[in-house]
A and B are shown apart, each in its own frame.
Chain A
Amino acid sequence: MATASTSLESRVSLDRRIKDFTFTTFLSVSIVASLAFIFYIIYRLYNNAGFLLSWDLVTFFPSYDIDTAGFQSSIMGSIWVVGFATLFAVPIGVMTALYLEEFAGKRNRFTALLELNIQNLAGVPAVVFGLIGLAFIARGPLSWGFTVGSAAIVLAMLILPVIIIITREAIRAVPPSYKEGALALGATHWQAVSKLVIPSAVPGTATGTILAVSRAIGESAPLLLLGALSFVTFNPTGLDSGFTILPLAIFKYASDSREEFQVLASAGSLILLAILFAMNLFAILLRDYTLRKRNI
């Protein structure tokens, strides 16, 4: 019996096998291309500005003299602005998520509307948050000017929906039996939530928050409208202080036509990427650690 010895594989016609092979190749090339692209960007940036990397770059202030130019005020500005944005957004985001998941009761028209609102807020272009900041916070009713406080509120609005969505997922991942056990023993709903649900949801929320915060650090568009694209040679001292941020310091050097400043922009990008990769790595390790702990 000749057919008995042929493998299953060979009964698929040549034509279909060629198509399959081509398709697999296409998929592999696509995925390799998008992954290789990350390394290519880093390679080109490093090639351009690697020689500049030193602590001076982090400790010097911006300057029109390439030898003494650095990013200190913008790094500090980013830390201040994003730090306060996180401080504003996380409590409100976590409370909103807890309310929707634990206390809102049955799905009704109000919660449905709230969910729709949060989902759509997450999709609003970043630059639009700059517009509300300009209209109401930096100018208009509040008139706080182009300060750390205005910028922090704008970024807080930007990351709020992300934090809500992520926290809800983390809360949903907590087995309901934890809470049910506590309720059966006579705990109030809040006791069950605060002692069992919240602690179990902390790692997931933390992972998500780190990712949201790293997005805020890289965000440049909304703060273009809040005067952050300026030459700032001092570190912020408070919420009412002027500021610039690392992405916009890069932007500013990049728009200078002199080549040495373009090198400086590349060097700033390397610093920014290093900060974000460190945060991403931490978030991924935290998630892996939590998953492993839960699986045991």
Chain B
Amino acid sequence: MSTTAQSGRAGMSLAPSTHLRRRNLIQLLITKLMASATLVSVLVTVGIVLSLIPTTFRLLREITTQIFGTVWAPLFTPSQYGMAPLLTGTFIIVSIAMVIAIPIGLASAIFLSDYATFNLRRIVKPILEILAGIPTVVLGLFGLYVVNPEFVEKYWPIGEPLAYTALGAGLMTGILIIPIIASVADDALSSVPRAMREAAYALGATRREVATKVVLNAGLSGVVAALILAFARAFGETTIALMVAGSYPKLSANPGDPMQTMASFIGFAGIGDAEVGSSAYNTIFLVGTVLFTVTLVLNILGNRFIARFREVYE
């Protein structure tokens, strides 16, 4: 009896029992709950932008063209805000990292996709994941205790490298991003269809020719994505640069010198409890804005390239 009354209210031809109505209600509530959970990730992005922008603009209005100067000393009085030393420091360390990581990372990717047997791949991939999981503080420690004194100080020919060097930081950052290049590029190369390889073999190509002239070309957008994402990771790396290259923003072209990157400046200035509104506080948000904007552009670009090879082959 009551069921018919309810079905009338629900306006359905099938008569839903209270049980059925309850589960529909649960379904509705759960969907709403999940939809609102998705807003958290949006909120985080909005929060990042809101935390960066106001402080950055306030400081920019104050310092205006000083930003093009060549001395970065925002924590001293009188403060100097020339970003050139941070830009060159970042550029040199990231460049060294890429020079190290591109050949080794790509070689690892080609090895995994076209040379390794199934079983070898099953062993090598997890070990590469372990390399990817080594904390940056450990890589920094190794750079500071081993690479700087035993390699850079001894063998670097220009100037007299001391405890902190950009070269050591670049090398360790390079090791940090090898697994990123290897794994993203391997995904791309492995998704190149078998038929393309077989066609090339049938035409008499050797294994190297297949790998470099067919597979690498076919998976090129994925390889480009790997390089862009690795570049972005190196660009934002803080701890290694801070531990190995030191915290002196020296404007120099010699990788044997200490240097400061944008990210390591944020880490360095943030160590002391930066009072809200102090110049240390303001400058870390200014530099943070540059860091965030550049990595955002790189990531959008990188993900575009990934989407492209997915579209073609998956």
Instruction: List 21 A-B pairs, Cβ < 8 Å.
Output: A20-B207, A35-B124, A35-B127, A41-B139, A99-B38, A123-B233, A124-B296, A125-B235, A125-B291, A125-B295, A126-B236, A132-B44, A134-B274, A135-B55, A136-B47, A136-B50, A224-B238, A224-B270, A227-B273, A251-B239, A276-B133
Report the interface size for chain B: residues with CB under 8 A from the other chain.
Answer: 91
| Most B-side CB within 10 Å, residue of A28, A92, A104, A123 | A123
Least Cβ–Cβ distance between B32 and chain A, in angstroms: 10
Whether a CB of chain A sits under 8 angstroms from the CB of B24 is yes
Interface code A209-224, partner B: CB below 8 Å = 1, 0 otherwise?
0010011011111001
**B268's closest neighbor in chain A, by CB?**
A224
- Asked whether B267 lies within 8 Å of A127 as measured between CB atoms, the reply is yes
Least Cβ–Cβ distance between A276 and chain B, in angstroms: 6
**B139's closest neighbor in chain A, by CB?**
A41
A:203-253 near B, CB below 8 Å: 211, 214-215, 217-221, 224-225, 227, 229, 247-248, 250-251
A218-B133, A254-B141, A269-B137 are contacts. A128–B288 as well, Cβ < 8 Å?
yes
- What separation, in Å, do the CA atoms of A284 and B266 have in the docked complex? 35
- Asked whether B239 lies within 8 Å of A220 as measured between CB atoms, the reply is yes
Whether a CB of chain A sits under 8 angstroms from the CB of B142 is yes
- Asked whether A30 lies within 8 Å of B107 as measured between CB atoms, the reply is yes
Whether a CB of chain B sits under 8 angstroms from the CB of A66 is no
Least Cβ–Cβ distance between B99 and chain A, in angstroms: 14
Whether a CB of chain A sits under 8 angstroms from the CB of B10 is no
Segment at the interface with A among B62-70, B108-116, B250-258: B108-116
A27-B111, A99-B34 are contacts. A190–B48 as well, Cβ < 8 Å?
no
- What separation, in Å, do the CA atoms of A27 and B129 have in the docked complex? 18
Whether a CB of chain A sits under 8 angstroms from the CB of B193 is no
Whether a CB of chain B sits under 8 angstroms from the CB of A86 is no
- What separation, in Å, do the CA atoms of A77 and B285 have in the docked complex? 27
- What separation, in Å, do the CA atoms of A191 and B299 have in the docked complex? 37
**B284's closest neighbor in chain A, by CB?**
A131
- Asked whether B104 lies within 8 Å of A34 as measured between CB atoms, the reply is yes
Least Cβ–Cβ distance between B38 and chain A, in angstroms: 5
- What separation, in Å, do the CA atoms of A247 and B44 have in the docked complex? 25
**B35's closest neighbor in chain A, by CB?**
A99
Whether a CB of chain B sits under 8 angstroms from the CB of A16 is yes
- Chain B residues contacting A120 (CB-CB under 8 Å) are 45, 296, 299-300, 303
- Asked whether B266 lies within 8 Å of A225 as measured between CB atoms, the reply is yes
- Chain B residues contacting A160 (CB-CB under 8 Å) are 40-41, 44
- Asked whether B38 lies within 8 Å of A280 as measured between CB atoms, the reply is no
Point out residues on A near B: beta carbons under 8 Å. Answer: 12, 16-17, 19-20, 23-24, 26-28, 30-31, 33-35, 37-38, 41, 44-45, 48, 91-92, 95-96, 98-100, 103-104, 114, 116-132, 134-136, 139-140, 146, 157, 160-161, 164, 188-191, 211, 214-215, 217-221, 224-225, 227, 229, 247-248, 250-251, 254-255, 262, 265-266, 269, 272-273, 276-277, 280, 284
- Asked whether B41 lies within 8 Å of A127 as measured between CB atoms, the reply is no
**A193's closest neighbor in chain B, by CB?**
B30
- Asked whether A33 lies within 8 Å of B104 as measured between CB atoms, the reply is yes
- Asked whether A221 lies within 8 Å of B239 as measured between CB atoms, the reply is yes
- What separation, in Å, do the CA atoms of A35 and B131 have in the docked complex? 8
- Asked whether B295 lies within 8 Å of A121 as measured between CB atoms, the reply is no
A98-B34, A273-B134 are contacts. A188–B44 as well, Cβ < 8 Å?
no
- Chain B residues contacting A140 (CB-CB under 8 Å) are 276
Whether a CB of chain A sits under 8 angstroms from the CB of B206 is yes
- Asked whether B108 lies within 8 Å of A96 as measured between CB atoms, the reply is no
- Asked whether A92 lies within 8 Å of B37 as measured between CB atoms, the reply is yes
A251-B137, A269-B141 are contacts. A127–B104 as well, Cβ < 8 Å?
no
A30-B111, A125-B235 are contacts. A272–B37 as well, Cβ < 8 Å?
no
- Chain A residues contacting B124 (CB-CB under 8 Å) are 31, 35
Least Cβ–Cβ distance between B153 and chain A, in angstroms: 16
- Chain A residues contacting B130 (CB-CB under 8 Å) are 38, 277, 280
Whether a CB of chain A sits under 8 angstroms from the CB of B271 is yes
- Asked whether A119 lies within 8 Å of B295 as measured between CB atoms, the reply is no
- Chain A residues contacting B243 (CB-CB under 8 Å) are 251, 254-255
- What separation, in Å, do the CA atoms of A58 and B48 have in the docked complex? 36
- Asked whether B145 lies within 8 Å of A48 as measured between CB atoms, the reply is yes
| Most B-side CB within 10 Å, residue of A131, A164, A250, A262 | A131
A26-B107, A33-B104 are contacts. A224–B271 as well, Cβ < 8 Å?
yes
Whether a CB of chain A sits under 8 angstroms from the CB of B138 is yes
Least Cβ–Cβ distance between B173 and chain A, in angstroms: 12
- Asked whether A117 lies within 8 Å of B35 as measured between CB atoms, the reply is no
**A273's closest neighbor in chain B, by CB?**
B138
- Asked whether A24 lies within 8 Å of B51 as measured between CB atoms, the reply is no
Whether a CB of chain A sits under 8 angstroms from the CB of B175 is yes
- Asked whether B212 lies within 8 Å of A23 as measured between CB atoms, the reply is yes
A96-B41, A188-B23 are contacts. A123–B295 as well, Cβ < 8 Å?
yes
**A219's closest neighbor in chain B, by CB?**
B135
- Asked whether B238 lies within 8 Å of A250 as measured between CB atoms, the reply is no
Interface code B1-45, partner A: CB below 8 Å = 1, 0 otherwise?
000000000000000000000011011001101110110111011
